[in-house]
Amino acid sequence: MKFDIPFSDRLASSIDRKESRLVVGIDPRLDRLPAELASLDPEEALTRLGCGVIEAVAAEAAAIKPQIAFFERWGWKGWRALEAVCKSASEQELLVILDAKRGDIGSTAAAYAEALLGEEAGPPGPFVDALTINPYLGSDSLEPFIQRTNEGGRGLFVLARTSNPGGAEFQSRPGDPEPVFLQVARASEKWGQGSMGDCGFHGVGLVVGATHPEEISRVRECAPSANLLIPGVGAQGGSVEDLGPAFDARGLGAVVNSSRGVVQAFEKNTELPWQEAVQKAARETRLQLESALTA
């Protein structure tokens, strides 16, 4: 599917329409399913969990973020489930940010772009609005993906400063004249030149972890026109109260991901049906984000 409206404008519209900066990450583990799904075949379990989460959070989230590894783990059954989940989100008017972190060169990168941002049925591409990608093979490795932002209205989120403890080993080494993550942030402004939306942001965003709040403002200075995808809130220790520099005066420019804190909410809130527990957690997280922005 090609989009006539740039990804950044579709994201801004979803944020405004839902009054939400929340992205719900779907990382389905079959050893942590609601009881009523636990005995299902992997394909059906993945599909019913993913589609059930989408139904629960559709009014609370600006987007969902399926993690492709948890589907690939189950082979062709997982791929069919992933397509069904992405299609369900599209039907519920939820943007789909596919978390695949792909990065390669030449024809291999082009094949990844075809599968994950393409238009052929079978892979999830027709139902994917944006994709996470790895820039560490250089700008030429991103060209097939950037072409999709310029010509097809898709979006990208390029890994810059990740939320894992080992991220600093290469992304922010002591003694570097400029940390690698800031070099990536500066480059994103060039990569996004052909996909600028009316909202003032382009289609090549950046992944910046909530676990490094002091660095978010540095990224924003280097990349004023890039949307930020911010993981690490909740289970990983990031705090929504520290994320103000990511947003502009309109509350645009970033979305915040919560995965386990929303999707596994049924494990703590056992008195509610599992979808109600997920919906409640999504609503609470959305409102917490809104409150932090207006504080």
Residue numbers annotated as active site: 101
- Please work out, in degrees rounded to the nearest 5, the angle formed at the alpha carbon of residue 71 by the alpha carbons of 103 and 276: 120
Taking only Cα atoms into account, the Rg of the chain, rounded to an integer number of angstroms, comes to 18
Angle between helices 75-91 and 42-57 (to 10 degrees): 20
Reading phi first (left if > 0) and then psi (alpha if -120 to 50, else beta), residue 262 is in alpha
Structure tokens at 37: 């799904």
Distances (CA, A) of 183 to 29, 103, 206, 277: 35, 17, 12, 41
Q: For every residue of 13-46, which 3-state class applies, written as one string? A: HHHHHHCCCEEEEECCCCCCCCHHHCCCCHHHHH
Say how far apart CA 99 and CA 87 lie, in whole Å: 15
